[in-house]
Chain A
């Protein structure tokens, strides 16, 4: 006889995964039919039964009884069977079912409340970390000794210079060093020994590493129309070092990854996503703030060193023009838009007291000409 099972029956003499069976409810009690067992001659009376909730979602009715020394546990999932059981059950059993249902509802609502609380807490922690990140990073960075920064900067410098042609002497090196010395001379008790390295490259840029190394590309020297423009860029880069922006970025990046790993546990998909999106987005936002800070402090440094700040502003204005013309955003993609930078610098300059700039001693055209005259030595 084939029958459609609607329940699982368990007992010490039955298979562990349960015996599929068909339950029928009548006013006398409960009758079980199993495929390979003789049908019971009379129903199990309600008076022997006890009920509770079971199953992963607590959505199954568990009926237990003992008859002739044999214990039975029945799991019923079908809603129609549960409904007819409830209808046929005598008052005391119906009351027991009602209590069970009530307990299940309470468990579910507790579970929902716990999950909501946890989700809310996680959200609050993430938000707090996002908003309080700058302060935390600042505290962390202030605990890093400058010695570590210097070592780190040297390591990165060696990596950066590998495969590059360094310009070791000549008017260009002397000029850049003179500009740098004039600026760094205005920083009393600097914890960092600033060094300038000139590298042969058409890239119009310069960068600073933690601890003091500054690298200037010959492209910047050729592109700049005056030494004051180069001084503007150097002032900006020196201030990246002084404000320890590189370390801030490193600490922040490490911190986000660590927090994400802790909060998300083994949810690898989410970590991957957070790594890709979060780190990129935050470091981008972070860089722009740092760039603006370095711009303004750089301008003040120029002011102190009596270098004409018009060069710095002119340089950004020309950069803005070339961005518009060629869409060369890749040059300084993480930097704020150059037009806005120039405007901000002009406003800051107006707030500073007026002064008479002292020009540099060398001839800028001669410095630029020296780079054209001497072709780059072949790479080793």
Chain B
């Protein structure tokens, strides 16, 4: 599986090239176009229960699509739903990534993907829900973001603070705590930040330059209200 980003920037696509017999998984609905040698299978990754838990708990799609080069080599183009950058990561088997629920676009068949429960405070206050995806194994992982993707590298014991809604993915070697943005509860919310994540290295954190919730709220003000 070889992948490259086309049209880097706000409206990118990924071209994934497969040798005959190779396959990879993608978020359902991500396929834009593909060679006639490829087949799309909808597969419940990890069986019915795991797929159900992913759907209900992380809001992730019930099925991952599997694209398989059944009849010979070919390519597929993939695009995320929201405008924003794509990043391609090579996992070497020792690094693991935690990915928020909308961040996964595609990955090698060899990747291990599980729904992980965050601790109670992180789940309740983190704004990412109680469940996130933990992705490990060896292979290519393709993430997408809302806006551009910014990479933060944290040295051992180095700390950095990120607004929850801007998180895309982080390595499992980092630790993080949810905290109020300001000292008091009221000023936390009036400051417009609410809760923040305090990350501690070593590891990397991918953040998106736009906040989906804020964007949604901004769009809502222009929606005509129904007269019914």
Q: Which of A10, A57, A270 has the largest count of B CB atoms less than 10 A from its CB? A: A10
Of chain B, the residue at the smallest CB distance from A10 is B202
Which B residues touch A11, using CB under 8 A? Answer: 155-156
A4 to B156, CA, bound (A): 24
Once the chains are docked, how many angstroms separate the CA of A4 from the CA of B203? 20
Given A118-B120, A265-B124, A268-B59: A55 touches B156 (CB 8 Å cut-off): no
- Which of B92, B93, B94, B96 has the most C-beta atoms of chain A within 10 angstroms of its own C-beta? B94
Q: Check if A12 sits within 8 Å of B155, measured CB to CB.
A: yes
| Contact code string B140-178 (vs A, CB < 8 Å = 1, else 0) | 000000000001111110000000000000011101000
Interface core residue of B55, B119, B173, B203 (most chain A CB under 10 Å): B173
Contact A16 B93 (CB under 8 A): no
Decide: A55 near B155, CB < 8 A? Known: A18-B95, A269-B59: no
In the bound complex, residues from chain A placing their C-beta under 8 Å from that of B127 are 266
B91-108: contact bitstring with A at CB < 8 Å (1 yes, 0 no)? 011111010000000000
Interface flag for A85 (CB, 8 Å): no
Contact B173 A54 (CB under 8 A): yes
Chain A, residues 259-303, CB within 8 Å of chain B (1/0): the string is 000000111111001000000000000000000000000000000
Give the contacting residue for A75; candidates B55, B98, B134, B173; CB below 8 A: B173
B129 within 8 Å of A (CB atoms): yes
Q: Is A150's beta carbon under 8 Å from chain B?
A: no
Q: Is the CB of A5 within 8 A of B92?
A: yes
- Are A8 and B134 neighbours in the complex by a CB distance under 8 Å? no
The residue in A15, A16, A57, A64 that gathers the most chain B C-beta atoms within 10 A of its C-beta is A16
Shortest Cβ distance from residue B171 to the other chain A in the assembled complex, whole angstroms: 6
| Residue from B96, B154, B202 within 8 A of A56 (CB atoms) | B96
CB pair B120–A56 under 8 Å, yes or no, is no
Please, what's the 1-or-0 string for B117-145, where 1 marks a CB less than 8 Å from any CB in chain A? 10110001001011000100000000000
**What is the CA–CA distance of A273 and B172 in the complex, to the nearest angstrom?**
32
Q: Known A73-B202, A269-B56; judge A6-B94 contact (CB<8 A).
A: yes
Q: Would you call B173 and A114 a contact (CB within 8 A)?
A: no
Which residue of B is nearest A9, CB measured?
Answer: B202
B95–A20 touching, CB < 8 Å: yes
A71 to B156, CA, bound (A): 9
**Contact between B171 and A10, CB atoms less than 8 A apart:** no
Contact with B along A121-135 (1 / 0, CB 8 A): 000000000000000
A225: interface (CB < 8 Å): no
Q: How far is the CA of A106 from the CA of B98 in the complex (A)?
A: 23
In angstroms, how far is the closest chain B Cβ from the Cβ of A78?
8
The distance in angstroms between the C-alpha atoms of A4 and B202, with both chains bound, is 21
Measured between beta carbons, the chain A residues less than 8 angstroms from B95 are: 8, 17-18, 20
Query: Which of A18, A267, A269, A273 contacts B202, CB < 8 Å?
Result: A18
> Are A18's CB and B156's CB within 8 A?
no
Closest A residue to B123 using CB positions: A265
Distance between B57 CB and nearest chain A CB, rounded to angstroms: 8
Query: In the complex, which residues of chain A have a beta carbon less than 8 angstroms from the beta carbon of B202?
Result: 10, 16, 18, 73, 75
The residue of chain B having its C-beta at the shortest distance from the C-beta of A55 within the complex is B172
Assess A10 versus B155: contact at CB under 8 Å? Given A17-B171, A18-B202.
Answer: yes
Chain B residues within CB distance 8 Å of chain A: 55-57, 59, 92-96, 98, 116-117, 119-120, 124, 127, 129-130, 134, 151-156, 171-173, 175, 201-204
| A interface residues with partner B (beta carbon < 8 Å) | 4-8, 10-12, 15-18, 20, 54-57, 60, 64, 71, 73, 75, 77, 111, 114-115, 118, 265-270, 273
Listed A/B pairs (17) with beta-carbon separation below 8 Å: A5-B93, A16-B155, A17-B95, A17-B153, A17-B204, A18-B173, A20-B94, A54-B175, A55-B172, A55-B173, A60-B173, A75-B173, A115-B120, A266-B127, A267-B130, A269-B57, A269-B59
